Structure 1
Amino acid sequence: MTRESDDLDLIGYLLNSLEPDEEQAIEEQLERDPALRERLEEVRALIAPLSEDDLGVDVPSGLGERTLERIGDHRLGTMTEASDASSGPRFLDVLIAASVLACLSTLALPAIGELRREHARLFCANKLRQLGTAFGVYADQESERLPFIATGGPFNNAGCFAVQLKERHLLSSDAVLLCPSANNGVVHVPTFNEFLEATDRLAYVDHLRRQMGGSYGYSLGHMNRGHHAGAPLRQSARPVLSDRPPRTGDPLFVNSPNHEDAGQNVLFANGCVRWLPSRTYGCDEDLFVNDTDLIASGVNSDDTVIGTSESTPFPPDDF
């Protein structure tokens, strides 16, 4: 045992606060150990003042009242803290608030998403109107005709309408050909010379043909008495430009992928822009294939087909 533990036992012995068996053990140890008996007397002398009734110290006046007052203040402070804690947000309150916010989010997020999609559709329609204005200026210079897609040669793809507009400085920028909601939209409209100089580099030509139309598709024209006619004349109520049709590699899309298959904006030859939630229009005319279900020029003047930038008026097997 250490001296500190011995002293504690001795103090307990002197104050008669030990258990009977502990007290007996101390007495047996005191009989055997003279040093412990000597230490007992030292401890007795140290604690002797505690047994005196009068310590010779005057108690300050009002000590009792001040002590009670401090105790009262402490209790009041404890009650105030408890009151403050109870007035704060409880777990149940927080849980209810979180539930309400979750419900509001469930209702609001779809509405916000729909507003964003609607904004993108309107922005897209505005771009088509800009292109419609460019077509109008072109038609003024070409006896009411819109850009013509050839049936052969390097300029036989639908996206060449953009090259023709660019050559006449009718495109404010290539970016007007990008739908704001099209994913990974890329556009590069070459000049006539740039395109002609690239004809011996087939891979680059294919790259240009896919990109020159941007996010939009153009009319592949129609057949007229065995001959290919170009896009409809201005003032016609036939479609001439629309959001890009789904490509062969877009099997999940029925409508244009520009707007997540929700539909497509369509520019008509008379300058009108309409949102079509389905690729069919008029008397069940399909916007993206002709009456024989081919991505090719229409079989007659009432059969209009919008092709992707790289699409040609005739399927490759027809050449």
Structure 2
Amino acid sequence: MHEDLLGYLLGALEPDEMQRVSDWLRDNPEGREQLAEIQRCLEPLEQCDDVVNGPDFDGPSEDLLARTLAAIPDGIPPMGETSDSPVKPPAPVMLTDVDLSGEAGAGGNRWNMMDSIGGLLSVATLLALLLPTIAAGRFEARKVACEDRLRRNWNALMQYVYRSEHGRLPEVAESGPEAFAGMFAIRLADAGLLDEPDLRWCPSADLPAFAPIGDSTLAEPTSVALSTLPSVQSLHQMSVNELKQVQQLAGGHYAYTLGVIGDQGFSSPRFEARASFAVMSDAPLGPASHADDPGKLRFSHSGQGINVLYEDGSIRFIRAEALDSMPDHPLFNHHGASEAGVNIDDASLSPSWRPPFTISIQR
């Protein structure tokens, strides 16, 4: 199963195998621990992601081979010499001429040093060629794992819609303790539809530090604490600090629709299976609140872009440089603000803590 878990983590399995491992992990806590351990072992590769996946990385330079050959010390006879060459080719070395005792003279030590240098250069060349491929596979595997979590969140959202009297997505209140984007996770959990709260965390982003409710000191995140969601009713009994913490953590790494303004005023979107209406995505890592200030927007997935989940269940990876050219920016409404959509077809997604309007009172 270790091979299957590694293949699952790297996205190297067939679709049916990916689903089989995903189902097995859902019912097997020990399997999830093994997967987490494999992820920890691969973490040293993460420091290479920003380099090999960044915009300034062009792969191995064209002169890599020439520079490698130039680094080999003089004295190694060139290959391919012929009788017409002005340089007389060296006499062949016979096996009987080689001192295997380990006590060779200066010449033997010289060749041993050359062998070591040549071997090191060969390893360095191979690493330079293979590292981009390994890092790219790591990036793709995490992106696929994020897509899988978004798809399972979509399944929970659809079950919520089918149970809803008016066929609407989970509601974000206009004001009060329920006025923040992360309410979708709390409503799903209250309805018994979020059986795996870990679905709120993207594999490409680090888990946040948090303060346990009622404690003012930061602690290391634990899977138990980060997977605990309060009930909707309990939000109204929380202190200001407790409520603020819930607002920060409830939606995890994902952004959710803040709602829309229709003929009847503000409400959650009615489900219509639209292929162009975004309902969830990777949340931006920066605090930008307006489309005119994109410099503050940072993204997971090595900063390359975000996975966006649409109402029809499709998921698309949108490159960071392509977001501003989209007809309906998934992270801002048509007025360029990080607020609720200005009409029923205006998708606007925000991180867990953000209210639907700048003037919304959250307590």
Does the alignment reach a TM-score above 0.5?
yes
Aligned to 1:189: 229
| Cα distance in structure 1, aligned partners of 2:191 and 2:284 | 26
| Cα distance in structure 2, aligned partners of 1:134 and 1:282 | 31
| Alignment check: 8 A CA contact 2:305 2:317 kept | yes
Deviation at 1:101, TM superposition (A): 0.9
Larger C-alpha radius of gyration, 1 or 2?
A: 1
Provide closer, same or farther for how the CA distance between residues 252 and 105 of structure 1 changes in structure 2, counting only shifts above 3 A.
farther
The amino acid of 2:359's aligned partner reads P
**CA RMSD between the two structures:** 3.1
Note the 1:65-104 alignment, pairs <5 A.
81=101, 86=108, 90-104=112-126
Task: State which of 299, 312, 317 in structure 1 corresponds to 2:355.
Answer: 312
Provide closer, same or farther for how the CA distance between residues 213 and 317 of structure 1 changes in structure 2, counting only shifts above 3 A.
closer
| Alignment check: 8 A CA contact 1:189 1:213 kept | no
* TM-score calculated relative to the size of structure 2: 0.60
Provide, for residues 186-241 of structure 1, a one-character-per-residue CA deviation record: whole Å limited to 9, x for no partner: 6442112332221xx11111111111001111001222247113135141221001
RCO higher in 1 or 2 (8 Å CA, sep ≥ 6)?
2
1:241 is the counterpart of 2:280:
yes
Aligned to 1:261: 303
| Cα distance in structure 2, aligned partners of 1:77 and 1:282 | 71
Provide, for residues 167-199 of structure 1, a one-character-per-residue CA deviation record: whole Å limited to 9, x for no partner: 11101221111111112346442112332221x
Q: Which deviates further from its counterpart, 207-216 or 78-87?
A: 78-87
* TM-score calculated relative to the size of structure 1: 0.67
Task: State which of 255, 262, 269 in structure 2 corresponds to 1:231.
Answer: 269
| Cα distance in structure 1, aligned partners of 2:325 and 2:295 | 24
Q: SS in structure 2 opposite 1:223?
A: strand
Aligned to 2:195: 172
Deviation at 1:87, TM superposition (A): 10
Provide closer, same or farther for how the CA distance between residues 211 and 80 of structure 1 changes in structure 2, counting only shifts above 3 A.
closer
Task: State which of 244, 247, 254 in structure 2 corresponds to 1:216.
Answer: 254
Deviation at 1:245, TM superposition (A): 2.2
Q: SS in structure 2 opposite 1:90?
A: helix
1:287 is the counterpart of 2:330:
yes
The amino acid of 2:207's aligned partner reads N
Provide, for residues 61-105 of structure 1, a one-character-per-residue CA deviation record: whole Å limited to 9, x for no partner: xxxxxxxxxxxxxxx999664797849962112211111111111
Note the 1:15-164 alignment, pairs <5 A.
81=101, 86=108, 90-142=112-164, 143-164=166-187
| Alignment check: 8 A CA contact 2:288 2:297 kept | no
| Cα distance in structure 1, aligned partners of 2:98 and 2:304 | 63
What stretches of structure 2 of length at least 5 have no aligned partner?
1-95, 209-220
Aligned residues: 241
The amino acid of 1:262's aligned partner reads Q
| Alignment check: 8 A CA contact 1:232 1:240 kept | no
Provide closer, same or farther for how the CA distance between residues 318 and 264 of structure 1 changes in structure 2, counting only shifts above 3 A.
same
Q: SS in structure 2 opposite 1:133?
A: helix
The amino acid of 1:128's aligned partner reads L
| Cα distance in structure 1, aligned partners of 2:298 and 2:204 | 14
Provide, for residues 126-160 of structure 1, a one-character-per-residue CA deviation record: whole Å limited to 9, x for no partner: 00111111011111111432111111121111100
Provide closer, same or farther for how the CA distance between residues 176 and 314 of structure 1 changes in structure 2, counting only shifts above 3 A.
same
1:273 is the counterpart of 2:311:
no
Tell me the percent identity. Answer: 25
